[in-house]
Every structure is written in C-alpha cells, then in structure tokens.
Amino acid sequence: MALLDILEFPDPRLRTKARAVAPEQIDDAFQALVDNMFETMYAAPGVGLAATQVDVHKRFMVIDVSEGKDHPLVFVNPEIVDKQGSQVYQEGCLSVPGIYADVERADAVTVRALDRHGQPFELTADGLLAVCIQHEIDHLDGKVFIDYLSPLKREMVRKRLAKAQRERARSAA
C-alpha cells in the first residue's frame, strides 16, 4: 500500500465534479486505490476521504468514524435519498488542514451506494457518520466545507492556508 498526496485548498482540482464509477471499473486497480485511500486517511489522521481529494475524479469515498478504526466503509456512486433534521457540527478537512468551522447539515441521512465490490446497499446514518457522508459527497460534487462560510471567513482561511504553505516550503528548503 502507499500513501497518496492529499490536495489542499485552494487547489482548483478540488472543484472538479467526480464522474460515476462504471461497474467494469471496480477491478483490482480500484481495490488497491481504495486500500491506499484508507491508509492515507488513517495516517493523516482523518475519518473520511473522497477520491477527489487525492486527484482521482471518480465518484467514491472511504469513511471510518469508529474509535478503533476498524469499521471501514466504502461508498461508490453515493446518493443521498433522504435527509432529516438539522445540526451544527464543527468540521475540519484533510484538504483544509488546521481549519475548523461550524457547518449546518442534516442530522440524519439515508444514502444509496455500491460497496467496494459493486454490491448495492442503503444505509441510514446520524451524528458524525451523517456529517461525514455529507461532507465527502460535497467533495465529489466539487464543494469544500468552507464554501458554507461567509466570504470574509473564507478569505481569511485562504490567507491562513497560503501562509502555512509558504512556511512549509521555507522549512523544506
């Protein structure tokens, strides 16, 4: 397995809308990519990673919100078919390192998807899992959680990230 590079905001590739995964694309190479995405997500550390974040513009994501990192979930071509309630949750993102902000999302969602082997399933989730599903689907649609912030806060985030990137570049030189 291998760690993948995670794109960081404001990289324009994060705005690419992912294309559906065709059944014939769920092959050995796809399985290896899924394994690499889990390894990357756990190492980051994070609880979710969309293919878009690793510059693969296919519609799938990996999630594991379990304490023991032992309940990996793969969602291929996910589609939210029902939303209920609303909650405000402080979100962070591997593509927006070090930034956290309150985002309002549905409290519970029902999602239809294929698993990593192409088998269809439906799952109803609430709490952190529901937030994570919505957050990662946003990535597949070319959205980043800071899109929910005011323009002023978004610009502050952009400047803070640019400064952090410059500092990392200086220390690596």
Residue 57 is labelled as binding a ligand: no
How many Å apart are CA 71 and CA 123, to the nearest integer? 14
136 included as an active-site residue: yes
Instruction: List residues bridging with 120 in a β-sheet.
Output: 114
Residue 135 is labelled as binding a ligand: yes
Give the per-residue SS3 of the chain: CCCCCCCCCCCHHHHCCCECCCHHHCCHHHHHHHHHHHHHHHHCCCCEEEHHHHCCCECEEEECCCCCCCCCEEEEEEEEEEEECCEEEEEEECCEEEEEEEEEECCEEEEEEECCCCCEEEEEEEHHHHHHHHHHHHHHCCCCHHHHCCHHHHHHHHHHHHHHHHHHHHHHC
How many Å apart are CA 171 and CA 69, to the nearest integer? 32
From 104, 122, 136, 155, the catalytic residue: 136
Residue 139 is labelled as binding a ligand: yes
What would the two tokens of residue 2 be?
């291998």
Binding-site residue ranges? 93, 135, 139
Q: Show which residues are catalytic.
A: 136
Binding-site residue ranges for Fe cation? 93, 135, 139
